Amino acid sequence: MNRSMPDRTQALDAASRGAADEFIRRARRAGLVDIGYTSVETPLGRLLVASTREGLVRLAFPEERQDDVLDELSAALSPRVLESASMTDAVRRQLDAYFEGRLRGFRTKVDWALTPPGFFRRVLEATARIPFGSVSTYGTVAKVAGSPRAARAAGNALHDNPIPVVVPCHRVVPSVGGIGKYGGQEWRKQFLLQLEGAVAPAD
């Protein structure tokens, strides 16, 4: 008895996925994949995450087109970029746990390859040390990064953070009150701060 068209389509899809997974496994074993990426469904939208052998290198909000992000990674780091569940599984699991309220600190390693050394990187490294449920100010982060008068420059560095959420730029707020601006749109910053209990829910 011949298979129905839906059955054949499903079988072909399964075979295609299997072949793709096997190709990726062989490419990784041969050292041909430098960057693996995947998409993760979250309350903030569908996030693209990308990892190298050193750790998480990029997290992009939905407004950033996937093709543009992959082109950026290819140009800046390596053209050997492939979709890979295995290279991104740890951070995907941690993101799921974080948004479900079961994780207070990311354990995934961070690859700073897209972050230029100097003040910019020191700002993000200082931000990465702000604890869950706490906030700091742009001025304080600038001071910790070695330039007490550079609050505005610290804000610019945070706006261009290539690994938001995991490197928690949402925890940096203005000294005059309010939550301030956010490269991933202010509603996401509000959501993250509320999730962590750092601000009261909006009316």
The torsion angle over the Cα atoms of residues 20, 25, 31 and 36, rounded to 10 degrees, is 60
Indicate which residue of 35, 49, 169, 173 is catalytic: 169
- Known catalytic membership, residue 169: yes
Contact call for residues 134 and 105 (beta carbons, < 8 A): no
Q: Residue 84's closest CA among 73, 76, 100, 75?
A: 73
Q: Residue 83's closest CA among 67, 99, 97?
A: 67
Name the phi and psi angles at 21, rounded to 5: -65, -40
What's the Cα-to-Cα distance from 46 to each of 53, 63, 95, rounded to whole Å?
23, 10, 12
Distance (Å, whole) CA 172 – CA 169: 6
- Taking the CB of residue 50, how many other CB atoms lie within 10 A of it? 28
Contact call for residues 196 and 132 (beta carbons, < 8 A): yes
Contact call for residues 124 and 167 (beta carbons, < 8 A): yes
Known catalytic residues are: 169
